[in-house]
Structure 1
Amino acid sequence: MKNTNVLQLQRDDVLEQISAQIEQWTPQVQKAAAYVLENADNLGLITVRNAASAAGVSTSTLTRLAQLLGYGSYDELRAPFREYLKLGKDAFPDRARWLQSIAQDNAHGGLYADMASASIGNIESTFDQGRADSLKAAADLIVAANKTFVLGVGVNHSLATNFAYLADMALGNVEAIPRLGSMALDEVGRLSKDDVLLAMTFKPYRREVVEAVVEAKRSGVTVIAISDSRASPILRQADQGFVVASESPQFFPSTVATLALLETLVAFVVADADDQVVANIQAFHERRHQLGIYLEEWDS
């Protein structure tokens, strides 16, 4: 039996090679490359004609992309994607039965089931990528940084604030941006080469986040990026990048997998830091108890 991890590595090697080289190619080849990055999960099932039509390029452009990546043809390029698909994912019959049962519960059951399925699927898809080594590398960058600034706008600002709150409790040098009344570009101007910028944006990508990441890289700041596609403009600039699934039956992209990834990154930060981190967290909570901020059990 073929090893799932080996096939995943082969597929991810291709995707990382595309991400690293895409800026060097012609506009048409870039379109083809972006299509591959956007459709990595299904590429093994897509013929060259269908892929070319969907990407808005010619079949010869896809062949050219394959050749630039060291393959003789498009079929050779998609081989590792096709092989990975053959293994499939783990079956979850109990989960499937549960989802079907709640869909029949009442008028809202179908939506409830769709939301549950999307949330579980997003987390599975995100963690199926096996990025523990990359998460550790990102955590090491944050622990070693002079300061870490966490950038998110719109709904993502709450995610940035939550991560900064938890990480700062341990390290004491993590801050969410932009602050009230400020702009992302203004905030990035405060960063030095010893700092880290953790940025996130999802389709439709926010211009101010992309511009802030570009400016940070221009200034020599280390960038960790989280987005929903390998073709995301902030992932192209990142020293460490993570792709999260954000599918949702609702009108807004799901943030469940992003939150799960950020919580995992916080755990890695605490695990990688020295013993002082434990003392910092303990002192933080002890002070809150002393100030009566927490409701003690006997007070209720």
Structure 2
Amino acid sequence: MDVNETLNALTQRLPDLPSELRKAGTYLLENAGLIGLQSARSMARDAQVKPNTLVRLSKELGFTGYDQLREPFKARLANASDSFSDQVTDRAVHLQSMHEVGDMSGLHRQMASACTNNTQQFFDHHGHESLQAAAQTVLQASSVFVLGVGIANVFAKNFAYIASMAMDNVIELPKEGTLPIDGMARAKAGDVLLAVTFKPYRREVMEAVAEALRQGVEVIGISDSPAAPHLANAKHRFVVPTETPQFFTSTVALMAFMETLAAYIIAASDSDVVESIERFHQRRHELGIYLNEQTN
């Protein structure tokens, strides 16, 4: 198995593993960049498990041992380009210190590098097949629920707004004055829930996803870690890099994903969708919503 296949297999198996193996698996998923660098003893120490636990976990995934599991990760490191600046423990203090020493050009470089690398890493990890498959799932759904709270809310809203120009079955969650789980009250098999949450994971999103799965709804899960609980039973799983020199989660790659998924949906749609978008904009012109630049 290559790196992506190994991480996907571990993500699928994680909920059913014994507690110690699950603890080790969670650590590997959240620190996948270290697998090719550190020995089993070192990784086990940091994960607070015994080295043999990593061996047992590797065998659960079909490998002969941890060394074989590490091979594709070591190969990827050998071919990888340099990543952006190391994580800063206290990012707010780091930003202020850069200002104090007059190194705002350094901050500019770090921010540009983070935005570029996050987006590139996302597209390197998720090929067109995974995006195309998710788009088909959306197009075949009876209803499409789009859920994001906190920092993810504005991106869920934007995706629902764009998608609703072409489709009349897109429902943004949560509705004002309600909880996300309320939106699942009438959800049923044949529907799709697109759910976004980053660490620390939002409880209301997890509750909505659990209820959706109980009702036979297919889930498209999006997070910054393959160990995110709502990705475990999702039909489609997307891990969005969020690294940044600043103290807020970077959402550049999330926006790129949402825009790209919307593009795949439009590309795979029939001519009725194109006509729906044209009618949408024509109606807005007729209502005077858009400024007529030719009018004095």
TM-score (ref. length: structure 1): 0.89
The residue that corresponds to 2:87 in the other structure is none
Equivalent of 1:73 in 65, 70, 80 = 65
Q: Note if 1:276 corresponds to 2:272.
A: yes
Q: Secondary structure at the match of 1:72?
A: coil
Identity level (%): 46
Q: Secondary structure at the match of 1:163?
A: helix
The residue that corresponds to 1:32 in the other structure is 24
Equivalent of 2:217 in 208, 213, 221 = 221
Opposite residue 12 of structure 2, the aligned amino acid is A
RMSD of aligned alpha carbons: 2.0
Equivalent of 2:242 in 243, 246, 249 = 246
Cα offsets for 1:60-109 (capped at 9, x unmatched): 111111121222221111011111211123899xxxxxxxxxx99x5422
Q: Secondary structure at the match of 1:84?
A: helix
Q: Distance in 1 between matches of 2:220 and 2:229?
A: 13
Q: Note if 1:299 corresponds to 2:295.
A: yes
Unaligned runs of 5+ in 2: 85-97
Distance 1:14 1:91, change over 3 A: closer
The residue that corresponds to 1:60 in the other structure is 52
Q: Secondary structure at the match of 2:150?
A: coil
The residue that corresponds to 1:49 in the other structure is 41
Q: Distance in 2 between matches of 1:234 and 1:52?
A: 25
Q: Distance in 2 between matches of 1:116 and 1:204?
A: 25
Q: Secondary structure at the match of 1:45?
A: coil
Asked if the contact 1:214–1:237 (Cα under 8 Å) also holds between the matched residues in 2, the reply is no
The residue that corresponds to 1:13 in the other structure is 5
Q: Distance in 2 between matches of 1:107 and 1:86?
A: 32
Give the 5 Å matches for 1:140-151. 140-151=136-147
Q: Note if 1:204 corresponds to 2:205.
A: no
Give the structure, 1 or 2, with the largest relative contact order (CA under 8 Å, sep 6 or more).
2
Q: Note if 1:286 corresponds to 2:278.
A: no
Q: Distance in 2 between matches of 1:296 and 1:129?
A: 43
Give the 5 Å matches for 1:58-207. 58-89=50-81, 107-207=103-203
Q: Distance in 2 between matches of 1:200 and 1:125?
A: 18
Cα offsets for 1:146-192 (capped at 9, x unmatched): 11010000121111000000001011211210011010111111211
Q: Note if 1:230 corresponds to 2:229.
A: no
Once structures 1 and 2 are overlaid, which stretch shifts more, 202-211 or 125-134? 125-134
**Structure 1 residue 20: deviation in Å?**
1.5
Asked if the contact 1:150–1:177 (Cα under 8 Å) also holds between the matched residues in 2, the reply is yes
**Structure 1 residue 216: deviation in Å?**
0.4
Q: Secondary structure at the match of 1:164?
A: helix
Opposite residue 202 of structure 1, the aligned amino acid is F
Q: Distance in 2 between matches of 1:107 and 1:260?
A: 29
Q: Secondary structure at the match of 2:4?
A: helix
Asked if the contact 2:12–2:233 (Cα under 8 Å) also holds between the matched residues in 1, the reply is no
Tell me the number of residue pairs that the alignment of Structure 1 and Structure 2 aligns: 282
**Structure 1 residue 226: deviation in Å?**
0.5
Runs of 4+ in 1 over 6 A off after TM superposition: none
Asked if the contact 1:225–1:238 (Cα under 8 Å) also holds between the matched residues in 2, the reply is yes
Asked if the contact 2:222–2:239 (Cα under 8 Å) also holds between the matched residues in 1, the reply is yes
Distance 1:91 1:176, change over 3 A: closer
The residue that corresponds to 1:3 in the other structure is none
